[in-house]
Structure 1
Amino acid sequence: MCGIVGWVDFAGQRPDEVRPLLEKMARILKHRGPDEEGFYLDHLAALGHRRLSIIDLSGGRQPMGDEASGAQIVFNGEIYNFRELRGELSELGHRFLTDSDTETILRAYLEWGPACLHRLRGMFAFAIWDPSRRRLFMARDRLGKKPLYYWQKGNLFAFASEIKALLELPGVERRLNPLALDCYFSLGYIPSPRTIFNEIKKLPPAHYLLLSEGRLEVHRYWRIDFNPQRRSPSEALSEFWDLLREAVSCRLISEVPLGAFLSGGIDSPLVVAMMVRALSEPVLTNSIGFDDPRLNELPVARQVAEHLGTRHREFTVRPQVAEILPRLAWHFDEPLADSSAVPTYYVCLMARKNVTVALSGDGGDEGFGGYTFRYLPHLWESRLRSWLPLPLRGLTFSLLGGVYPRSARLPRPLRLKTFLQNLAVSDARAFYQDLVWLPEEIRQQIYSQRFRRELAGFSPFEIVVPIYQEVEHLDPVSRCQYVDLHLYLPEDVLVKVDRMSMAVSLEVRCPLLDHRLLEFAATLPLDLRVDGKRGKLLLRRAAEEVLPPAVVNRPKQGFSIPEADWLRGELRPLLEKTFEDVDSLLWGYLILPRVEELWRRHLSGRENHSVFLWGLLMFSLWERHYLRAEGLQTETP
């Protein structure tokens, strides 16, 4: 994996004068590419690259250029079908000087232009400067596994793998985007194209950007098509195995040590099972456990490793959360309220002791219907709503939902407040109410008047619901998956995986997120995704063929931490320091006494506001790095 930076200045520049700034931007991304650095400058453009060497160790240096056209590329990612494309391009007359996937992208662009993206299979973010056309071409992969940010002011357009590199540029203002902040408090992440900074944008997944003098265009080049089709379980299973075999095999190309994450679920074991079949030597697997029994999957992972015959490595850690959270906040560049970043960081840190590339099971839940805690209630509620006339349920259930208590002490079957509120509204509104972490009534209580004025009536509802409505003709589970593949997966899960793996210079590859496999999954009928109790039914059928029955039937625990208890325990001083910090920007947007009341209720155990409070803490840590420069680093902390 790598880090890329650069800019185009149509007003012109002197390369010798701007090179120190380019080097500074690149070196702040050293964690993404510790092995090499490279630079290209001309009178209009500057490109910088930090390299984590994986393929063509001697010949894959970047920036990489084409002598005939003068085009230059900087690239972050892996193209898994580059050898097939190389053969096709060679037949068309292209002469290759390296054995790298980087050169394949460059020559594919020279041959097909932006249409080359349809031929790429992999994870990528790249920029190509085409001096003959005075044009910059940038693109991100279909799911957004690799990040790409940009900033424009006048004649100057700059880009980077991480926001922290753009902040090195003179003139970049660190003014917050209030709409992005609302999304953060409500969802726990900030959807593309917004970022926490008003002037900096994310290039969305599955999009490319063309910049020429006086004109910037952003285009979508791929969209997943949810179109469930009737097929037998045996037919679907056969097609799944073929696609998974291909997705795993093409991700085994590496000139450095390669292994896999192994958890106690079924997703990563399925990937490892395919690796075992494809490789002649035992697969190196890595599992992590914690001293908290709620977080320890080591016994199950060990059972899978023994069954598959892998070279298994286990690590047991006690997370030093208060110690590492400031470091994680620095790596994220903008606030992210996903507490599972902590175990993700540790599993990457431990795996890096043995391998440079690790395959993971990410994507199984979003692609194959695994989030049953949201998907199944939404399915049942949708059916109930279709049976009851809107006037009746709107009045009745809104009144019941309004008076029903919200309490973490109630048994789970009696936590009916959200259920009652959902029955009173449309499917789209109910989905949104399930998705947001910050209930609307609390949002209204804690937002300051100033914040509400700046929002001018905006709500994250405006971002989520249009995506949901694109597939409103489909079944409720498909709608949920469609939104997750467009929002939660790329803007939360994959951001977390990218930053935590790059923090330790580890490349993570995700076969279950192969776009061909996801396109297949989007055609599965509902009865091959979920039933009345479980999800990922097709993956479970596949797992039955290669894994022990006890593993297949065990509910996946997943990477998470007991943040509610930790906030009441070792993180309490860190969070209370946030409340005491009257100069924090938080208290211009939130009403401090009302937030403190939420904190007191959380401490009492009557209510659980851990997700919002975790987000509050992460914002505070982020603010100290990026707005106050308290301990702001010039390289990885």
Structure 2
Amino acid sequence: MCGLVGYAGFADCVPQGTEHTSLKEMTETLACRGPDASAVWAEDAAGLGHTRLATVDLVGGRQPMLLARDGRTVLAVAFTGEVYNHARLRGELTALGHRFTTRSDSEVVLHAIAAWGEQAPARLDGMFAYAAWEPDARRLTLARDRFGIKPLSYTRIRDAVVFGSEPKAVLAHPAVGTRLELDGLRELLLSAQPMIKTPGRSAFAGLNEVAAGTVVTVTPQGARTHRYWSLTPVEHCDDLPTTIARVRQLLQEAVTGQLAADVPVSVLLSGGLDSSAIAALARPAAGTLHTLSVDVGSRASSEDAMGRDPDGPYAEMMVGHLGSAHRRVRLAAGTLADPAHRARVGRLRDGLTLGDFDTSLLQLYRAVREDFPVTLAGDGADELFGGYRWFTPRAATAESFPWDSVLGRADLTRLLDPALAAALDLPAHRAELHRTACTEIEHLPGTTPAEAALRRDSYLNLTRFLPCLLDRADRLSMGVGLEVRVPFLDHRLVEYVFNAPWGFKTFDGREKSLLRAAVTDLLPEPVLARRKSPYPMVRDPAYRTALAGQVERLLADAGPATDLLDTTAVRSLLLEATGADRFPREGLELVLDLDQWLRTHRPTLHL
């Protein structure tokens, strides 16, 4: 997997003599992303840093990687992620005259950029981000995979660009300031509740993200952005049986391809349809199939917006069915409420957390990493196949993000200072984000209004909701040096399923009909029939008590967040938390997370 940092531009982008030191400091912020190796390269007005988690060609894939001609560097690249078709691309590039000295996908990316320039990302199958510097042209190219699975941030400083896998790496450059403005606070709040990620934006003023499926090219003449991939409508000509068979084929190819590694690989197994499908498809190629699940002692509750039943029995059923070597990771409520764990998650995410939803996932990833540098997960299946309860005709026709009907009910702005809440005007901002997102969606001629609405629902989930979950998975997994691969986001599978008629996706009267039909011969009937059950959240009263106590101490100590909060409203929330009927976890967690974020980043406020 790995992390990358760098700068490019003119020599006066920072005071003379500090460039190399800055590069090392930036690289060190990403040490957890690459525990196996670290290196920097600098020449004239550019520098690259890289930390490596070795999964393919453990010896030969070291970076930054250089291409030289006549003893002079003509291309320098820092790459993160995995390219699953690197063997085929190596053959194509060899035929074009390129010569390779390693088996790594990193060297394939180096030569792909040399051969195809800005068109290289469109030829890469996988999850990736890279920075490429061409000294002769003084050209910097930043690129990101189709779904933004791997992160990449950048900022302009006068005539230079500073970039890195995570905001913290960019902010470590001495010429980059940490500034919070109203738009940044909007992004910070909405990306956590109700989970809306705006492509290209971050919480920090002046700090951008390379958007998914996008190439950013910077030269002395200026910057240019090129979108090389997007979800576009294509006529679906296959009948239902053919579609089911094609989904099975594409998913099998994705799972098999993503098992390839020179290190041990595992599969996260909850006992739900998505993870069970991946595990079953992985078994023939995996040799000994290793699976892991998590138990946080949750129970079904009216507090849970989506409802759930315990994973344990279903996971154990799948273990028996597949014969996998399984480990069940048990987490205690007390550890999930530990402020140190929350602070760790906040630092990793550079943003607000999702409470125990995040702290438990970090601990699960840490347990996985004890034995496996790589694991496969089911992220993206619900967004692609229509697994959430908000995939309904009514929600799809609403003039708001579909998940607002389930996740957007808690009005957390009531906890903010009234003047600040008015200035933010989050309802109007959300409405504008929705309008903007809807303008991106295309429909084929003759598409019915109902089909168009559901296709729009799918697009919004894949481009605005899923990125929040991918960002979460990347930051927390890389926080322990674990690579999480996501077969459901193979772009060929996504393109095919996205364009299938919605009636195919619900042909048996249930959610995710296509996926269920595609793997029906592989799974036990109870797993196939199981209703959607989201990732578990703790229901232990001790967790509620711990959160309330931490908020009380924050108010008593007048933490930095109190300047942005309506402390009277927060005290009312504490009274609400003492009741037996409802646990206002989102509000308590917002208060704690906002305070932690301000303590960590210490931004200058311009609100």
Q: Same fold (TM over 0.5)?
A: yes
Alignment partners' CA distance in 1, 2:401 and 2:91: 50
Question: Partner amino acid for 2:576?
Answer: R
SS in 1 for 2:179: coil
Alignment partners' CA distance in 1, 2:255 and 2:310: 27
Alignment partners' CA distance in 1, 2:546 and 2:369: 27
Moved more, 448-457 or 207-216: 448-457
Alignment partners' CA distance in 2, 1:78 and 1:613: 38
Alignment partner, residue 446 of structure 2: none
Question: Partner amino acid for 1:288?
Answer: V
Alignment partners' CA distance in 1, 2:22 and 2:480: 25
Whether the 8 Å CA contact 2:186–2:424 is kept in 1: the answer is no
CA displacement 1:539-592 (0-9 Å, x = unmatched): 1112321010011111232313147956632222122233334352x3444432
Shift of 1:439: 5.6
CA displacement 1:78-101 (0-9 Å, x = unmatched): 000011011001111111122111
Whether the 8 Å CA contact 1:264–1:557 is kept in 2: the answer is no
Alignment partner, residue 396 of structure 1: none
Give 1:482-521 correspondences, 5 Å limit: 482-490=459-467, 492-521=468-497
Alignment partners' CA distance in 2, 1:156 and 1:622: 28
| Structure 1 residue runs without a partner (length 5+) | 383-425, 630-637
Aligned match for 2:381, one of 359, 364, 370: 364
Alignment partners' CA distance in 1, 2:11 and 2:380: 44
Alignment partner, residue 524 of structure 1: 500
Q: 1:576 to 1:233 in 2, by over 3 A?
A: farther
Q: 1:450 to 1:261 in 2, by over 3 A?
A: closer
Matched, 1:449 2:382: no
Aligned match for 2:599, one of 624, 629, 637: 624
Alignment partners' CA distance in 1, 2:599 and 2:83: 37
Alignment partner, residue 409 of structure 1: none
Give 1:71-150 correspondences, 5 Å limit: 71-150=75-154
Matched, 1:241 2:241: no
Matched, 1:282 2:282: no
Question: Partner amino acid for 2:108?
Answer: T
Alignment partner, residue 302 of structure 1: 316
Alignment partners' CA distance in 2, 1:125 and 1:563: 38
Matched, 1:8 2:8: yes
Matched, 1:374 2:406: no
TM-score between the two structures when normalised by the length of structure 1: 0.85
CA displacement 1:225-274 (0-9 Å, x = unmatched): 24573643321111011101211121122111111111110111111111
Alignment partners' CA distance in 2, 1:192 and 1:564: 36
SS in 2 for 1:477: helix
Alignment partners' CA distance in 2, 1:538 and 1:524: 10
SS in 2 for 1:340: helix
Matched, 1:558 2:572: no
CA displacement 1:264-300 (0-9 Å, x = unmatched): 1011111111111223x22111122234455842221
Alignment partners' CA distance in 1, 2:371 and 2:377: 15
Alignment partner, residue 349 of structure 1: 366
Whether the 8 Å CA contact 1:178–1:451 is kept in 2: the answer is no
Question: Partner amino acid for 1:2?
Answer: C
Alignment partner, residue 20 of structure 1: 21
Alignment partner, residue 463 of structure 1: 433
Matched, 1:267 2:274: yes
The count of aligned residue pairs is: 579
Q: 1:228 to 1:500 in 2, by over 3 A?
A: farther
Q: 1:203 to 1:577 in 2, by over 3 A?
A: farther
Q: 1:36 to 1:430 in 2, by over 3 A?
A: closer
Aligned match for 1:161, one of 159, 165, 184: 165
Shift of 1:507: 0.6
Question: Partner amino acid for 1:302?
Answer: E
Question: Partner amino acid for 1:341?
Answer: D
Question: Partner amino acid for 2:228?
Answer: Y
Whether the 8 Å CA contact 1:564–1:609 is kept in 2: the answer is no
| Structure 2 residue runs without a partner (length 5+) | 301-308, 444-448
Alignment partners' CA distance in 2, 1:509 and 1:456: 34
SS in 2 for 1:7: strand
SS in 1 for 2:216: strand
TM-score between the two structures when normalised by the length of structure 2: 0.89
Give 1:310-325 correspondences, 5 Å limit: 310-319=324-333, 320-323=335-338, 324-325=341-342
Q: CA RMSD in A?
A: 2.7
Shift of 1:154: 0.5
Alignment partners' CA distance in 2, 1:608 and 1:470: 38
Give 1:324-343 correspondences, 5 Å limit: 324-337=341-354, 339-343=356-360
Whether the 8 Å CA contact 1:363–1:513 is kept in 2: the answer is yes
Q: 1:101 to 1:343 in 2, by over 3 A?
A: same
Shift of 1:325: 1.1
